[in-house]
Structure 1
């Protein structure tokens, strides 16, 4: 178990905004990539980084939508990216690498929840493939640019949904188990956390540090496929105009992006990595049966599971290449 997985008493908390987490830092000369950086907390992440002077490359599946959201921001470039398709991931990475730039900050932010199509063209579980595997592929393709920085950080969005349990490596794509979208989503977010652990182990000698982030409960576009009954389970209801009305405890988008920004820039994290963070701090480890909606369960930071996931991911991507299943 990683000894680094303990709170730092950062003086920030659940109400901290992304702008506050930035701490007034000047990011001129820094280069960042934000997947899905044109919507929800990704858009706020892009805004804060851009306003601080960073050059931000946004990976977006819908270029027109991204241009509409980002056209007024400075130092922002959009490259088409669909994480569910290996060919699209490779094309994005190749386009960025042509610039010969060092990559200082990689934010694996994009994701899906409760998708209408539960299997991709390869037969992979859609949530696992998009939330985790596509980001694994992207990060490894950008490895040399991360090394070139000499002090880069890779931030991958996980979720409190990791509490549903560890990854079932014997049935990643629900070919044996009945499909359960909540378990599927939870396992994909456990994978995102384990990714930060193994990435940090492999990357730290090159100046690459990995962090997993629980942004907290925020009402964003990820809720669009949820039924009224599912929303009600979280205490959320729709107003007369179709807007979401949430109870206390939900974060604003500005608060939801705060831990991402904190992990990207905080000096408190110098020399640290491979940890799961929330509320602008490293999270505490909680017991496996804890009902708390905070903290990290041990299976999400387990080093042996993290190493196994990395190896399995490499095998899955080689298989996809051999069978020419890319779009």
Structure 2
């Protein structure tokens, strides 16, 4: 299944182009991180297609400023705070409205070692565990939709590391901010595999994706030297947004998320990793050279492994105390 369709879209396709002709009237979407970067663009195009959108926000003031001109519902939530995730989900569940789209877009990248109150490493806790808890809490609403999609925004950075199941929080190994990021992005892919396996009988399908390399707030922990080395900024310090140079604009970067959430071409499918508005191939090369890997499309087999997805799901239930069976 992990093979291009082809879709007819590509790296230069924008989110507005992907959603053209699609009517989302009557559909409800939750977009984490929906007040900056790719998330904000995703919110804009979903609203333009008629969807009702709820945006959870850790920084409510920043979110209000960004979303001031948009007709969205804004509620507080911090992915790194389990009680906050539960409170957000409880608000929606008590209303009882069906949820058609859950777009897990928020994240943190390459930060220094930080731990939450549980002792969990920040990138794994925020990028994966917080979204896992959110999805499980909102599962009843997605089941009510009779056709829902979960979109897990991952990255080609998943190639930096598989999930190290016996030490996901760097308790027994030296911390490296890039392998920690890679581990969390692999978890995003495996989560989609596990969620799809559990949800497809109820019409809940899940996908993961690489949005492309885009200059957004996600890069706030990178130095100017690193940004230049990754080709994110030019010699004058200005953001690069040229697909030919491996960089996308924000509208191009949001396109794969929107395609994953709305395309009829993906009906009856799930558990797939997407790139450039299409299903990505498996990446089987043995190279570990980052510069070479950045030029290659595809997903590492360990990130879409069904057994790995089951191991991660069990670990996530244990570490969050949340499960589909127990609630």
TM-score by length of 2: 0.93
* Aligned with residue 172 of structure 1, among 168, 174, 187: 168
* Aligned with residue 303 of structure 2, among 300, 303, 310: 300
CA distance in 1, matches of 2:303, 2:97: 32
Query: Secondary structure at 1:53's aligned position in 2?
Result: coil
Q: Per-residue deviation at 1:233? A: 2.1
CA distance in 1, matches of 2:3, 2:116: 37
Query: Secondary structure at 1:170's aligned position in 2?
Result: coil
Residue in structure 1 matched with residue 325 of structure 2 by the alignment = none
Q: Per-residue deviation at 1:117? A: 5.0
* 2:245 corresponds to 1:244: no
Residue in structure 2 matched with residue 24 of structure 1 by the alignment = 21
Q: How does 1:57-72 map to 2 (within 5 A)?
A: 57-72=54-69
Q: Per-residue deviation at 1:318? A: 2.1
Query: Secondary structure at 1:313's aligned position in 2?
Result: helix
Asked if 1 retains the 8 angstrom alpha-carbon contact of 2:76 and 2:88, the reply is yes
Asked if 2 retains the 8 angstrom alpha-carbon contact of 1:239 and 1:245, the reply is no
CA distance in 2, matches of 1:237, 1:13: 23
Moved more, 226-235 or 209-218: 226-235
* Aligned with residue 149 of structure 1, among 137, 145, 150: 145
Summarize deviations over 1:59-100 as a string: whole Å, max 9, x none.
Answer: 1111111111112113x1011110001001000100111221
- Matched pairs, number: 314
Query: Is there any run of 5+ residues in structure 1 with no aligned partner, and where?
Result: 320-327
What value does the CA root-mean-square deviation take over the aligned residues?
1.5
Summarize deviations over 1:248-275 as a string: whole Å, max 9, x none.
Answer: 2200000000000001110010000000
Query: Is there any run of 5+ residues in structure 2 with no aligned partner, and where?
Result: 323-327
* Aligned with residue 137 of structure 1, among 133, 139, 143: 133
Q: How does 1:224-303 map to 2 (within 5 A)?
A: 224-237=220-233, 243-245=238-240, 248-290=245-287, 291-293=292-294, 294-303=297-306
Residue in structure 2 matched with residue 221 of structure 1 by the alignment = 217
